[in-house]
Amino acid sequence: MLSVIMSPHHEGMLIAMWVVMIAIGLEIVVALAMGLRGKANMREMAEVVTRPVLFDLFPLIILSILTMLDGTHILVLIWFYVAAVLIIIRVLLALSTHLRR
């Protein structure tokens, strides 16, 4: 499924996916640590873990699969990189708000 990202022609996609996964992992760890400091609600903790995967990683995986449909790969690659940059910006803003508390 992720063979498109792993192909030698798309090293940028692989690096972008790794950066996004690392940023999301940091966000999850910080959010869980902050949530456990106070009153721990299991529903909120589960949402902290599943929400970034469903709304950030899954669309990037879908975009990487769509590169097989686009012959030039240009349009899908642009959307992939724009989405990756926006996800990283969102995660950094979320981390800054978590750490300010």
pLDDT of residue 76: 86
What pTM was computed for the model? Answer: 0.84
Q: Comparing 2-6, 13-17, 47-51, which segment has the lowest mean pLDDT? A: 2-6
Q: Can you tell me the distance from the alpha carbon of 72 to that of 86, in angstroms, rounded to the nearest whole number?
A: 23
pLDDT of residue 79: 92
pLDDT of residue 5: 60
Q: Are 84 and 23 in contact (CB under 8 A)?
A: no
Q: What is the mean pLDDT of residues 39-66?
A: 88
Q: What is the mean pLDDT of residues 17-45?
A: 89
Amino acid identity for residue 97 in this structure: T
